[in-house]
Copies of this chain bind each other. A is one copy, B any other.
Amino acid sequence: MAGFNKIVDSYEAAMAGLEDGMTVLSGGFGLCGIPENLIAQIKKSGVTNLTVVSNNCGIDGFGLGILLEDRQIKKMIASYVGENALFESQLLANELEVELTPQGTLAEKMRAGGAGIPAFYTATGYGTPVGDGKEVRVFSGRSYILEEAITGDFAIVKGWKADKFGNVIYRNTAQNFNPLAATAGKITVVEVEEIVEPGELDPAHIHTPGIYVDRVIKGNFEKRIEQRTVRAAQ
């Protein structure tokens, strides 16, 4: 029986079914905790007209930035972009659409998408361009705007360890948006550094329960550092 064995053996299989025009949610903050090999597979697959939802869009030549090289991204939903020159030039040339979303709202939109909540109110963005055209409502004397959930055709996620059931834990601050993206993909693909036996992960400390996960693959990671900062030697 296949049962709950979600492990796939190739990146082709991991991203099978991704098509032009789909929406892809990606975990990661900056270059930390990004599903780098799944992104590379998207590049390799050549699909285009993607809407990508991620806090950032990588850098030139690494992370989601590589999807700009062949203009695979039609629209980017992010809180902070422009760490790379290609992004900037495509944006200025109107070859790329960008929807800037406050970081907390972006996280909450993904969580809501996974949790069956179509929309929620938040104070974030009220009175700013983010609130333009959105419903405003007052609760207890304070104004809030209505924000809608985000879901994706695919969610691509970078975990630390997973079992074949798709239970995942993340390492340190590489957690970030990963568990949120994981809940909101029609197909959720998780690449991890290590696959462990079911039962090895403490049930009370699993970050992403397997019910959210469709495919698991073990990868090798470069884990590039964006701002290497050290303190002076003592």
Residues in chain A within 8 A of chain B (CB atoms): 108, 112, 115-123, 137, 139-140, 142, 144, 148, 169-172, 175, 202-205, 207
Contacts and interface: CB of A to CB of B under 8 A. Distances in A.
A204 B205 CA distance: 9
Nearest to A144: B118
Number of identical protomers? 2
A178 B202 CA distance: 19
A170 B118 CA distance: 30
8 contacts: A112-B120, A116-B122, A117-B120, A118-B142, A119-B120, A120-B121, A172-B203, A205-B205
Contacts of A117: 108, 120-122
B204 A172 contact: yes
A140 B120 contact: no
Nearest to A138: B118
A171 B120 contact: no
A23 B118 CA distance: 29
A139 B118 contact: yes
A63 to B, nearest CB: 22
Nearest to A120: B120
A231 B137 CA distance: 54
A122 B142 CA distance: 22
Contacts of A171: 204
A119 B122 CA distance: 8
A123 B117 CA distance: 8
A224 to B, nearest CB: 21
Contact of A169 (B112, B115, B122, B204): B204
A115 B142 CA distance: 15
A8 to B, nearest CB: 26
A202 B120 CA distance: 32
A139 B148 contact: yes
